Every structure is written in C-alpha cells, then in structure tokens.
Amino acid sequence: MKITADNVNKHYSNYIKYLIKNNKLDTSLLCSYELSFIKTKIKLVNANNKNNILIDFLDKSFTNRIKKMNRKNEIFYKIFKKNKANILDCTGGFGKDSFILHSMGHSVTMIEKNPIVTILLKNALERFKISKFSNNKLSLFHGDAYDYLYNTDQDFDYIYIDFMFDKSKEKLSSKNIETLKILTNNYNKKDELIRLAINKVKDRIVIKNYKKNLPLYVGKSDYTIFTKLLRYDMYLNRQDVK
C-alpha cells in the first residue's frame, strides 16, 4: 500500500507506518490502495476503481439522515431507549452507527482494531470536533475490544457489536463496505467478547447481523428486533454468564 503525505502531515505518514508494522497488518490485499494525507483530510484511494474513502461526519450522507430521523422511522430509537446513555461500540468501522447514536444525544466510545480505519476515523473526529455540531461525546480508542472492555472501569448502559464485515461474508454491494471487509480481519474472540459484554454491561448488549443469519451467540437472546434486511439480537445484563 502506498502512503503519500504533504509536509504538514509527514508525522501522520510515519505514525500509520508504525501502526501497520506494530499491528502486523497484512497489506498484501491492499496493493492497489493509496493512503493520502493532504491538508486536513485523509483519504483511502483504490486505484482500480477510483473509489475514494473519506470519513466526513459533516457530509450530506450523514447529515441528511440525521435531519430525517425521528422516533417512528429510526430503528435505533427502538433499540436504545434510554436518554443520554453511555454506549460502547466494539466495532467502530467507518463510524456511521456511532455517529447516529451520538446525534441522538448519547455518549459513544468507538473501538477500532484496524490501524488504517483508525487513522481515517481519527482524522474525521478531529475535523468534526472543531465544528459547531460537536459536543465532545464521541470518542475513539484504537485496540482490541475484548482487551479494552476487560480492563476498563467505565460503565456502559449499552454495548453495541457489529461483525457484519468479516472477510467470511459474501460479496457486498457497496465499494466502501467491500473495502472495509478487506481491511477488517475475522475477529477470533467473538464468543469471549459477547460473554464479557453481557457480564459488564449495565443494561443490554446489541448484536447487529443480517436478518437471514443465525444469531452469533449460542445463548438465547432476550429479544430481537428485525428490519427488512437486518436483525438486532439483544441480551440483558447477566452476572452469571461464563
């Protein structure tokens, strides 16, 4: 993967090289990609299809949905019913779900393991936090979700988990999602993470999945909400799950 940066962003370029090396990231599938650091924005460019990935929480693709949201048409209002909840998103990805939850008034901590996705998210957050829309209740941690949850003393009302973009999944339509699938390794501690989350969450954990798929966790969910394409399996706090 090629990395380019102007003089202002050379430190970013060196930082991502360090992260890739430190995380032992396999970049063999990213030979057609370029990570571009120009002025205040960082983009991931695929030379094969000219697809540019730039996470921008002020882009119309984000803001238009926020403007149209209400308790009748937004599924998250049915799932995350508490006001001003503290939420842990264990699988940050490109930050879309976390941003929606933040826009609903919640405090959200995103966990992202992949260093390239992390740097894109970090850049998006830096630009968002100097805007008039930020309330500093959207934060990011780079690392493993299980390790973070095991070691943190912070209480979370909800823990949100979305493994939909594992490499094992079938081909997806969106070029951005296909790229995310390439970047995201199969997570090999799913059961351990879910069991730990059920023990530590104050209210419930929410697992997002495709509607046609079986639940990811062997334990029976307390209840499930379905949409046309998705399912949200919910597990209430249980201190005795092992």
186-207: pLDDT as tens digits: 677 888 999 999 999 999 999 9
pLDDT at 170 > cutoff 50 = no
* 32 — pLDDT class (breaks 50, 70, 90): confident
What pLDDT is recorded for position 201? 97
Q: What single-letter DSSP state applies at residue 217?
A: S
What pLDDT is recorded for position 9? 66
Q: What angle do CA 13, 183, 233 make, to 5 degrees?
A: 130
Distance CA 116, CA 237 (A): 33
Contact 42, 35 (CB under 8 A): yes
Choice between 20 and 142, residue whose per-residue pLDDT is larger: 142
Distance in angstroms between the alpha carbons of the first and the last residue of the chain: 41
* 168 — pLDDT class (breaks 50, 70, 90): very low
What pLDDT is recorded for position 174? 58
What does DSSP say about strands 51-53 and 41-46: parallel, antiparallel, or unpaired?
Answer: antiparallel
* 21 — pLDDT class (breaks 50, 70, 90): confident
Choice between 168 and 175, residue whose per-residue pLDDT is larger: 175
Distance CA 21, CA 38 (A): 22
- Token digits of residue 212: 């046609």
What pLDDT is recorded for position 104? 93
Distance CA 53, CA 179 (A): 9
Instruction: Name the percent of the chain in helix, strand, coil, to the closest 5.
Output: 35, 25, 40
- Token digits of residue 16: 């991502």
CB-based contacts of 117: which residues, under 8 Å, 6+ apart? Answer: 92, 93, 94, 180, 183, 184
Longest dimension (CA), the chain: 54
Distance CA 102, CA 87 (A): 9
pLDDT, tens digit, 9 for 90 and up, residues 104-142: 999 999 999 888 889 899 999 999 988 877 778 999 999
CATH 3.40.50.150 holds for 69-236: yes
What pLDDT is recorded for position 169? 47
Across the range 79-87, mean pLDDT stands at 96
Contact 102, 65 (CB under 8 A): no
Contact 180, 94 (CB under 8 A): yes
Three-state secondary structure call for residue 224: strand
Across the range 50-58, mean pLDDT stands at 84
Contact 237, 201 (CB under 8 A): yes
Q: What average pLDDT is seen over the chain? A: 83
Question: Considering only 7-21, 113-127, 211-225, which range has the smallest mean pLDDT?
Answer: 7-21
Say which residue the tokens 């308790």 belong to.
71
* 44 — pLDDT class (breaks 50, 70, 90): confident
| This prediction's pTM | 0.86
